[in-house]
């Protein structure tokens, strides 16, 4: 029995030896890698001109299971602008940063035991909000459609844009106002033809820092070409029986031969295109009538237009005093040849005949002076630009109703130079009269934006210091005729 027990003991010795030798030995004893600080990837340390929303990237750390990011406007991180933790990847997007600001940022790598190691501090600077730059349409462009896209160059730090569109350069009133535009273009529609529009763009950052562009402008419909209508010859009674206006008497019969006349006053666009200058006070809308022109300026325009269109000129002269087209005060030895077919100013008789368009009433739209009831004033408002509906400036031509022969603004907007010297009427019948052979004033007709109802009458005649042929004012213009 004892012998058998001894045998079993000695047979177990190898197994016991292996057990005691291997007890406590580690299994898979591969050493772990140490946790290191993340290295910078982008943006580069010290980078400038960065967006106010951008992506921060670092190199992955093998032993890290997550990362923490801090962004601050001071290098000591005493206050943190952005803090993000438990990030699983190797990047983070930060936003709502301020423009023109230097930011410091750092990353902490953490392992599964939440042991962490911070990187050093890196820094970048955000871009300033700058004013947008024009792309299209070109500043001052003509012939633009009534629906178009306006565009500008993007501003790096801008989060959105606002657009203002106005018919006045100071933006006192706007026709379009868009906000929150995220692209670099916007569509505007339903614009008025023959109208100049001003527009500007505001670039706004996420922190509401913003910068406006300057004002740009374009014109819809381009330059309107003057058109003429043929006025049929005939006889009418010229003047007025109203004794309050003695220089319109006596009423007398006048026969006028067939002629052509502009349907509108000469516009600033037409005048500048031909004369190379715009003397007007009320600028900014090229389809307003040209004003601040002397009688001599109008004569020079007529001759220039005749030469352009291939007609023989009516006016001849030996010298020019003053700036041609912009304050000409005299034309030496001036003569006129009415047998020529070029453009000229209308005679006073031609003007009144065309204005009346077959009517014999005080106003070419009907009715008598003075207006007595509110509807009379409303009728004038529909037919004329005058002090009641435009007390501060001219308006684009053809903005009111035409007369029966298709002529616009024969009453109101601007006074119109006639060819004649001012003089008294004769009671005798006349045929194609051209007025006195000399005088002090050239006649003006039609009334203006600054005038009252009596000046809008078809028979009204105007003479004053401004009516000297070298005089000018912000309410006198002209239109042309030819035969």
Q: What is the pLDDT of residue 31?
A: 53
What CATH number is attached to the domain comprising 275? 3.90.1580.10
What CATH number is attached to the domain comprising 208? 2.60.40.10
Q: Quick check: is 17 in a domain?
A: no
Same domain, 405 and 380: yes
Quick one: average pLDDT of 350-379?
93
Quick one: average pLDDT of 47-66?
91
Position 18 confidence tier, pLDDT thresholds 50, 70, 90: very low
CA 360 to each of CA 189, 357, 418: distance values in angstroms, whole numbers, following the listed order = 44, 9, 21
Q: Quick check: is 394 in a domain?
A: yes
Q: What is the pLDDT of residue 191?
A: 82
- pLDDT over 50 at 17, yes or no: no
CA 218 to CA 283: how far, in whole Å?
14
Q: What is the pLDDT of residue 225?
A: 52
Q: What is the pLDDT of residue 142?
A: 78
Position 339 confidence tier, pLDDT thresholds 50, 70, 90: very high
Q: What is the pLDDT of residue 27?
A: 43
SS (H, E, C) the chain: CHHHHHHHHHHHHHHHHHHHHHCCCCCCCCCCCCCCCCCEEECCCCEEEECCCEEEEECCCCCCCEEEEEEECCCCCCCCCEEEEEECCCEEEECCCCCCCEEEEEEEEECCCCCEEECCCEEEEECCCCCCEEEECCCCEEEECCCEEEEEECCCCCCEEEEEEECCCCCCCCCEEEEEECCCEEEECCCCCCEEEEEEEEEECCCCCEEECCCEEEEECCCCCCCEEEECCEEEEECCCCCCCHHHCCCEEEEECCEEEECCCCEHHHHHHHHCCCCCCCCCCCCCECCCCCHHHHHHHHHHHHHHHCCCCCEECCEEECCCCCCCCEEECCEECCCCCCCECCCHHHHHHHHHCCCCCCCCCCCCCCCCCHHHHHHHHHHCECCCCCCCCCCCCCCCCCCCCCCCCCCECCEEEEEEECCCCCCCCEECCCCCCCCCCEEEECCCCCCCHHHHCCCCCECCHHHCCCCCCCCEECCCEEC
Token representation of residue 171:
């933006």
Same domain, 399 and 308: yes
Q: What is the pLDDT of residue 463?
A: 87
Among the listed ranges 52-66, 211-225, 429-443, which one has the minimum average pLDDT value? 211-225
Q: What is the pLDDT of residue 466?
A: 83
Same domain, 205 and 105: no
Q: Last residue of some domain: 63, 91, 126?
A: 126
- pLDDT over 70 at 5, yes or no: no
Same domain, 475 and 345: yes
Q: Quick check: is 13 in a domain?
A: no
Mean pLDDT of the chain: 89
Q: Last residue of some domain: 166, 185, 220?
A: 220
Q: What is the pLDDT of residue 32?
A: 61
Q: What is the pLDDT of residue 95?
A: 84
Q: Quick check: is 32 in a domain?
A: no
Q: Quick check: is 2 in a domain?
A: no
Q: Quick check: is 3 in a domain?
A: no
Position 372 confidence tier, pLDDT thresholds 50, 70, 90: confident
Rounded to 5 degrees, what angle do the CA atoms 481, 482, 483 make?
A: 140
- pLDDT over 50 at 6, yes or no: no
Q: Last residue of some domain: 169, 200, 220?
A: 220
- The number of domains in the chain is 3
Same domain, 411 and 369: yes
Give tens-digit pLDDT for 406-416.
999 999 999 99
Pairing label, strands 335-336, 315-316: antiparallel
Same domain, 268 and 404: yes
- pLDDT over 60 at 459, yes or no: yes
More confident residue, 144 or 39: 39
Residues 6+ apart with CB under 8 A from 23: none
Same domain, 209 and 232: no
Same domain, 152 and 299: no
Same domain, 254 and 172: no
Q: Quick check: is 141 in a domain?
A: yes
Give tens-digit pLDDT for 167-215.
888 898 888 899 999 999 999 988 876 678 999 999 988 777 789 999 9
Domain that holds residue 323: 228-482
Q: What is the pLDDT of residue 24?
A: 46
Give tens-digit pLDDT for 57-73.
999 999 999 999 999 99
Give tens-digit pLDDT for 143-174.
788 788 999 999 877 889 999 999 888 898 88
Same domain, 119 and 138: no
Percent of the chain with pLDDT over 70: 92
Position 4 confidence tier, pLDDT thresholds 50, 70, 90: very low
Quick one: average pLDDT of 379-392?
95
Global pTM reads 0.58
Q: What is the pLDDT of residue 187?
A: 92
Q: What is the pLDDT of residue 25?
A: 44
Same domain, 380 and 314: yes
| 129, 205 Cβ separation under 8 angstroms | yes
Position 100 confidence tier, pLDDT thresholds 50, 70, 90: confident
Q: Quick check: is 77 in a domain?
A: yes
Q: What is the pLDDT of residue 275?
A: 94
Same domain, 216 and 284: no
- pLDDT over 90 at 324, yes or no: yes
């Amino acid at each position: 029995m004892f012998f058998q027990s001894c045998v079993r003991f000695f047979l177990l010795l190898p197994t016991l030896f292996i057990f005691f030798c291997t007890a406590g030995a580690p299994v898979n004893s591969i050493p772990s890698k140490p946790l290191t600080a993340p290295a910078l990837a982008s943006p580069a340390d010290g980078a400038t001109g960065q967006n106010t929303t951008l992506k921060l990237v670092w190199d992955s750390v093998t032993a890290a299971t997550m990362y923490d990011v801090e962004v601050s406007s001071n290098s000591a991180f005493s206050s943190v602008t952005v803090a993000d933790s438990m990030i699983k990847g190797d990047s983070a997007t930060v936003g709502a940063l301020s423009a023109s600001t230097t930011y410091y940022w750092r990353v902490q790598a953490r392992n599964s035991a939440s042991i962490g190691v911070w990187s050093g501090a890196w820094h970048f600077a955000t871009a300033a909000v700058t004013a947008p730059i024009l792309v299209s349409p070109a500043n001052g462009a003509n012939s633009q459609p009534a629906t178009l896209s306006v565009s500008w160059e993007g501003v790096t730090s801008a989060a959105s844009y606002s657009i203002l569109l106005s018919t006045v350069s100071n933006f006192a009133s706007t026709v379009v106002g868009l906000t929150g535009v995220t692209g670099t273009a916007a569509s505007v529609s339903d614009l008025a033809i023959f109208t100049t529009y001003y527009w500007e763009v505001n670039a706004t950052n996420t922190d509401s820092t913003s910068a406006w562009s300057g004002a740009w402008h374009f014109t819809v419909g381009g330059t309107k070409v003057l058109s003429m209508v043929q006025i049929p010859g005939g006889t009418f009674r010229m003047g007025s029986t109203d004794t309050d206006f003695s220089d319109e008497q006596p009423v007398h019969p006048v026969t006028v031969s067939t002629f052509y006349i502009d349907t509108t006053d000469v516009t600033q666009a037409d005048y500048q295109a031909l004369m190379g200058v715009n003397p007007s006070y009320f600028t900014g809308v090229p389809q307003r009538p040209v004003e601040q022109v002397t009688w001599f300026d109008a004569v020079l325009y007529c001759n220039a237009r005749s030469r352009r269109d291939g007609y023989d000129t009516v006016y001849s002269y030996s010298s020019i005093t003053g700036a041609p087209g912009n304050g000409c005060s005299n034309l030496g030895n001036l003569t006129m040849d009415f047998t020529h077919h070029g453009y000229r100013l209308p005679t006073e008789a031609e003007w009144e005949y065309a204005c009346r368009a077959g009517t014999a009433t005080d106003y070419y739209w009907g009715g008598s002076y003075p207006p007595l009831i509110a509807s009379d004033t409303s009728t004038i408002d529909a037919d004329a630009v005058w002090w009641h509906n435009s007390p501060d400036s001219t308006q684009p031509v053809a903005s009111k109703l035409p007369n029966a022969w298709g002529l616009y603004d024969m009453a109101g907007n601007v006074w119109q130079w006639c060819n004649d010297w001012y003089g008294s009427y004769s009671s005798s019948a006349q045929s194609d009269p051209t007025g006195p052979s000399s005088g002090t004033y050239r006649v003006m007709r039609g009334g203006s934006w600054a005038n009252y109802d009596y000046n809008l009458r078809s028979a009204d005649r105007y003479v004053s210091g401004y009516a000297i042929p070298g005089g000018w004012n912000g309410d006198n213009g002209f239109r042309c005729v030819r035969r």
